[in-house]
Amino acid sequence: MIRYGSRFIFFYHARHLMRVWEYKIKKKSNSFPSVIQIQSINDCNGSCSMCPNSQIHNKTVEPMTDKLFEKIISEILNESKLTPLILLYLQNEPLMDKNIFKKIQLIKNQSKGKVHVGFLTNGSLFNEEKLKELENLKKVFISFSLDAFTKETYNKVRNGFNFENVLGNINKILDSKYDSGNVVVEFTVQKSNIFEFKDFKKFWGKRTGGLLINYLTNRSGDLSNYNDLYSPENNYSIIERFKFHILENIINFCPLPFTSFYVGKTGLRN
């Protein structure tokens, strides 16, 4: 049985659906976002084909200052009327921030454990030391961006990483005392990996706390090779196509502007 019902997956989608309900049915929108992504460092050690970050070379790499980070978290906690989901990830590799777990602990302390916290990672920098830090934090959602089922496809999609090493790091946390219900694996569907979609769901859905399935976007025009990567609808299964059409009829707008907020390393909205 594929477990889509992890707490992270449920909470993430529930927040979006709640905003759809507010806008479509109640004809109003909440003034404060419920899903907030924060870029604690503007750096990544990968050059993945579906990410525009690999095409950006004119930035000075540095982490967000502690003072600014604390200010942002304080404002979120003071202004939010709902329990927000804070993801310390935004077109970067969060584990390149040496203080990422200290930042997570700060959020948990200031919110008294009420805020849902997580991050997305390519998994290449995960190790025993980081596992111990994660175990000390206990309830933190972590999503490994894998995007492939085989090594051959992985090498096409996620350039610069070692497939076996990343798999070993994922299994390291799944085989530890850490609650696997807080661990999900991500798959961004595109032309080069769609034929592995079914096998990926079957295998990882049983092994982890859930699957985070994304569909390729052009990142507001920033992804210059989007047309080369995009998989047309006729490549999807009948069930997937049916789901698309149902959602298009029910939700005929993008809910993200009503739900999510993105904070860059300088504190400005991205």
Say which amino acid occupies 92.
N
DSSP 123-182: STT--HHHHHHHHHH-S-EEEEE---SSHHHHHHHSTT--HHHHHHHHHHHHTSSS-GGG
Spans of all domains in the chain: 7-263
pLDDT tens over the chain, length 270 residues: 233 346 677 777 777 778 778 877 777 777 788 899 999 999 999 889 898 886 766 568 889 999 999 999 999 999 988 788 999 999 999 999 999 999 999 999 999 988 889 999 999 999 999 999 999 998 899 999 999 999 999 999 998 899 999 999 999 999 999 998 899 999 999 999 999 999 999 999 888 988 988 888 888 888 889 999 999 888 888 888 888 777 777 777 777 887 889 999 998 765
Q: Which of these, 184, 190, 180, lies nearest to 227 by C-alpha position?
A: 190
Buried b (16+ CB within 10 A) or exposed e, 124-160: bebeeebbeebeebeebbbbbbbbbbeeebbebbbee
Structure tokens at 35: 């899903």
| DSSP characters over 70-96 | HHHHHHHHHH-SS--EEE--SSS-GGG
Give the pLDDT of residue 108: 94
Look at domain 7-263 and name its CATH class: alpha beta
What does the alpha-carbon distance between residue 229 and residue 189 come to, in Å, rounded to a whole number?
9
